[in-house]
Amino acid sequence: MLTDNKFNKYLIYGIGEIILVVIGILIALQINNWNENKKKEIEVINYLTNLKDALNEDIGSLETNISFNKTRLKGIFYILEHSELNIQTFTELEWVDVSKNDDANHLWKGSFPDTLNRNFIELAFSMLGRGFGGLSFNKSVINELFSTGSFSNIININLKTKISNYYSFMAQRLEGYAIEEHEEWANETTRFLRDHYGIFTLDVSGLEDPIATLKGKKDVEHHLRYLALEVNYHCIWASQAKKKAEDLIRLIEKDLNK
């Protein structure tokens, strides 16, 4: 009986030791998981903070680009109007307002002219064939988020969706083929004016009256109106991208403040 009692005590003691070890392991695993989750949380916070800075850079680039292309669009309608050609907008597409000049416009200071203005004529012609690819997007943060797999650590599903939508929109509307298509028609327009009317759009300072050369020319009207459509598309998409970036920044700030 004494032997049995000792064995039972040792058995209970052994089971107790095992339970304590298991509990210790579980606690250690829980602490380790907590530490890992905390590291991921801090990592996501850092990424989102940096992403907000990148988006602000994108907004600055978009604002400059929108201002540039609104001035170009105003110049196209200015040439059309003073060449006595059709200036009516067409299609159901929304058109950007170019009636007023942007105060931050570094290309033209003050109000856009209504009457003939030699300086604005030269500016309007010089901008016809300019490229659309001047946008600069900071993708370093989003690229690192995907390459490290940290994007999956963002818990807010709505935020993840908005981030993906923003960069998908940029790729579809403001990069690659979309830009190439706009630029091709800008190049086509400048080649047309050069080959058919001897107007080198980049510099018309040597021409006495380039506007008079184009008066009533319907083929010119076709090229300029289509170019206006391309520029307007670009302005609309750039403006939409800017709004998406601003909305995304607000969503990130809301998430960071939690």
Average pLDDT over residues 218-227: 95
111-154, pLDDT tens digit by residue? Answer: 999 999 999 999 999 999 988 867 889 999 999 999 999 999 99
Burial 59-88 (b: 16+ CB within 10 A, else e): bebbebbbbbbbbbbbbbbbbbebbebebe
Domain boundaries, the chain: 2-256
- Reported as a single tens digit per residue, the pLDDT across 7-45 is 666 767 777 777 777 787 777 777 767 766 677 788 999
The 8-class DSSP code of residue 110 comes to: S
Q: What is the largest CA-CA distance in the chain?
A: 124
* Contact by Cβ (8 Å): 118, 209: no
- Pick from 24-38, 196-210, 241-255: least confident: 24-38
| Residue 30, pLDDT score | 76
Answering whether pTM is above 0.75, one says yes
